[in-house]
Structure 1
Amino acid sequence: MLTEPLSRQNSTLLPGDAVPAVAELRRDLDLVPLGSRDRLQSLMRHDLVDEYLLLIAPTVVGTGRRLFDGIELGDLRLVGATPTSTGVIIATYQRG
């Protein structure tokens, strides 16, 4: 369980349910949530994610837990793609 102070600089621990806390904070701030897949999916289901920054590695896998499983993405558009020297592509998608 996380407790204050957090080891990451410029980070704040949100007590309680993240959905209402993020909804309130995003009115005035640009947020970058760090956490588990489940936490991110909860924010996605409540329409609280405006931009996705995905690191796409040249690895093929057949199983595992999927980030977008059961989530309606709506209109996402690719707004940037940067290849790295290791073959990873950094792709930025924004909503509609």
Structure 2
Amino acid sequence: MGKIVISSNVTLDGVVQDPDGQEGFERGGWFHQFVGSKDLEDWVARETEEAVGVEAILLGGRTNEWFADRMTARNEAEGRVSPEWAERVRSLPKYVVSSTLEDPQWSNVTVLGGDAVKEISELKRKVDGEILVYGSYQLMRTLIEQNLADELRLVVFPVVVGTGLRLFDETSDTKPLHLVNTRQLGDGLVFYNYEFARG
């Protein structure tokens, strides 16, 4: 049985929108604005360790495009992505939830184009191990709302942006979680690891 793990970068006030500033959000770009080199080094090490420990990646359509564009040898050579992390992400089976995607643009991609809840439930039965969800905030909200997410991993950045898309804007019910782990990354980031409580 698979375990769906949501992994996200988030501001102190819960904003997940436009961390790299590429979407044009007026308060975007907070990922690189508020971290030092030690923060980034520890973030990359944690991200790589996480990717090595999973069996598959689950993405929404736009996040799939973002990753496919950035997981190139050129970006690796220019130091924009960690080579070990990029190689692992490229090699993993990837499942993309999209009703319009025809050309995934990179390898090992299976498009889930039908009923998302049904197909992801089937994916959990099929994959033995962790299924990692990056970005894909609409998908993350669906997973949380439908009780398909098993674990939540957040890296909190030391900034309040005041407005923007948040991971937990609305849910139809209370979602209790249990704290599994917390640790500091570098000098300013904090990693939180929760499991969703069941029953």
Range of TM-score over shorter length: 0.7 to 0.9
Identify which of 119, 142, 148 aligns with 1:21.
119
Unpaired runs of 5+ residues, structure 2, are 1-60, 72-89, 95-109
Q: How much does 1:23 deviate?
A: 0.6
TM-superposed deviation, 1:36: 1.5
Bigger fraction of residues in helix? 2
Higher Rg of the two aligned structures: 2
Deviates more, 1:61-70 or 1:72-81: 72-81
Higher strand share: 2
Larger RCO of the pair (alpha carbons < 8 Å, separation 6+): 2
Q: Tell me the distance in 2 between the aligned counterparts of 1:16 and 1:35.
A: 18
Matched residue count: 94
CA RMSD across the alignment:
2.2
1:9 aligns with 91
Residue of structure 1 in register with 2:151 after alignment? 51
| Deviating more after overlay: 27-36 vs 76-85 | 27-36
Counterpart contact for 1:52–1:94, Cα < 8 Å: yes
Q: TM-score, normalised by structure 1?
A: 0.81
The 8 Å contact of residues 14 and 21 in structure 1, kept in 2 or not, is answered as no
Match of residue 88 from structure 1: 189
Q: What percentage of aligned pairs have identical amino acids? A: 31
* Stretches of structure 1 lacking an aligned partner (at least 5 in a row): none
The 3-state SS of whatever aligns with 2:133 is coil
Letter of the 1:78 partner, please give it.
L
Give yes or no for the alignment of 1:64 onto 2:146. no
